[in-house]
Chain A
């Protein structure tokens, strides 16, 4: 087993060697511009792009023509929200999203508010799931777009998009979903779920960084967008700029592999996550699972270790790459807004660790991490005044803290 162990697959993934292999000729041999219509270099590049478009469309049950390439999911989210808001402003000025969305959505929504749009930020249930009934209640005559993520990046919770899609379709409102974390790990079907726009990115599914896509529905209804990047009119005029051909080829290959290996890989990840969770919970008290117990990504385990601060635990787990909801791991000194939205107390938000497994995770790695986590949590609890107080029978909520 090689150290350090990578267990942060929600952040990014290594490029699969099969993906790299598919990409390589497109850096050197087939380097043409896919927009060059009058010579073989351009034709070869265009052909590769169209193949990739099909591979990508297939994983969400879309048509290849509905895939618009972008630089990544942040751009896709920006384009979806700002592009729809501007195009449909005659129809209405109201958008609906949820408090646990990724910053690419939340900050785009805030920008739209500055531009005069109104945004409803839906709360989530304690298990992190958006209640479809809340979506329906929030829809007004002015609503043009609902944007709800497929799966949450911190707690892995999967939202009931099919139910939400039925509601948005009924009310003639567009539905966008940030599907970055769900692609390849949870079933996605833009037809069955009535999804009109969908953001995805290659680097979370063993493809390269810097390439993403926005699915834009062409029929029933035909969705139109105002571009946020103007230029040569590429991608049906929705996103100008020379196509990143090697990136697109890699993105396509990555989708193909995810689709081929979906059943086997999700079952394997689910087994490994259960092993990790059970291994830790059976040896430590006062550990809380954040997010829904079953309706979650097969590779996600988000645990709060009461009385232990997350960053100090990560420091002990120095040979394992993980992430924490603790304030100290962010620049803002605020603990995770996602965990706060679930009603997890701020103390437990500071104590949370996200374990993200992936294609190259092994049972041996999981067992190593269980052992290390148990050892360090016990050690840090010995060092924790909170743990000592609880053992003495003091209710921490009754203590007058001297917060500065």
Chain B
């Protein structure tokens, strides 16, 4: 299968590859997919007081298109508010990376990873608010 130039570029020069401290209260972590399916994506966001995603990181087990989809996702969510990030659609990733139909699931997974990271962050925040002054997990 021939890859698009953008997929190859993300594969060779992944953006924001790595990890953030998942224990931090301002970090949300989303892990989606399963090893048996050949794709696991971890996407993390660091959110500031204005609800803006100021940093993002990914790690992906998966094909080149999965790596590129998650790399692109981190690029796109950076600098966005949580609400803006939630509007990102997998079809945007498909179009940007020129993914063939058989690779669309990679973009779906990246969209899921963003949502999972945001909901993890919000769960942490809500948990902290409800037990203000208490300890966080």
Pairwise interchain contact B37-A385, C-beta atoms closer than 8 A? no
| B19: min CB distance to chain A, Å | 7
Which of A309, A384, A404 sits near B38, CB closer than 8 Å?
Answer: A309
CB-CB < 8 A to A383: which residues of B?
Answer: 14, 17, 59-61, 67
Pairwise interchain contact B35-A396, C-beta atoms closer than 8 A? yes
Mark interface residues in A373-404 (1 if CB within 8 Å of B CB, else 0): 00000000011111110000000100001111
Mark interface residues in B9-24 (1 if CB within 8 Å of A CB, else 0): 0010010010100000
**Interface residues of A, count at CB 8 A:** 30
Q: In the bound complex, how far is the Cα of B108 from the Cα of A326, in angstroms?
A: 19
Which of B33, B38, B64, B108 sits near A335, CB closer than 8 Å?
Answer: B38
Of the candidate stretches B39-47, B73-81, B120-128, the one touching chain A is B39-47
- Contacts A383-B17, A401-B40 given: A309-B63 contact, CB under 8 Å? yes
> A312 at the A/B interface (Cβ < 8 Å)?
yes
> B36 at the A/B interface (Cβ < 8 Å)?
yes
Q: In the bound complex, how far is the Cα of B38 from the Cα of A326, in angstroms?
A: 8
Closest residue on chain A to residue B108 by CB atoms: A404
| B16: min CB distance to chain A, Å | 11
Pairwise interchain contact B105-A404, C-beta atoms closer than 8 A? yes
- Contacts A385-B41, A385-B59 given: A312-B36 contact, CB under 8 Å? no
Mark interface residues in B108-125 (1 if CB within 8 Å of A CB, else 0): 110010001000000000
CB-CB < 8 A to B93: which residues of A?
Answer: none
Q: In the bound complex, how far is the Cα of B34 from the Cα of A345, in angstroms?
A: 12
CB-CB < 8 A to B3: which residues of A?
Answer: 315
Pairwise interchain contact B63-A345, C-beta atoms closer than 8 A? no
CB-CB < 8 A to B64: which residues of A?
Answer: 311-312, 315
CB-CB < 8 A to A382: which residues of B?
Answer: 17
> B82 at the A/B interface (Cβ < 8 Å)?
no
CB-CB < 8 A to A272: which residues of B?
Answer: none
Pairwise interchain contact B38-A327, C-beta atoms closer than 8 A? yes
CB-CB < 8 A to B41: which residues of A?
Answer: 385
Q: In the bound complex, how far is the Cα of B38 from the Cα of A350, in angstroms?
A: 6
Pairwise interchain contact B17-A347, C-beta atoms closer than 8 A? no
CB-CB < 8 A to B62: which residues of A?
Answer: 309, 312
> B99 at the A/B interface (Cβ < 8 Å)?
no
Pairwise interchain contact B60-A401, C-beta atoms closer than 8 A? no
User: Which residues of A100-150 have CB atoms within 8 Å of chain B's CB atoms?
Assistant: none
> B97 at the A/B interface (Cβ < 8 Å)?
no
CB-CB < 8 A to A331: which residues of B?
Answer: 102
Closest residue on chain A to residue B7 by CB atoms: A315
Q: In the bound complex, how far is the Cα of B62 from the Cα of A401, in angstroms?
A: 15
A-B contact pairs, 19 of them (CB 8 A): A309-B66, A312-B62, A312-B66, A315-B8, A315-B11, A331-B102, A333-B102, A345-B36, A346-B35, A347-B35, A382-B17, A383-B17, A383-B59, A383-B61, A383-B67, A384-B59, A385-B61, A396-B35, A404-B33
* Shortest Cβ-Cβ A-B pairs, 9 listed: A401-B34, A347-B35, A403-B34, A385-B42, A346-B36, A350-B38, A311-B63, A385-B59, A328-B63
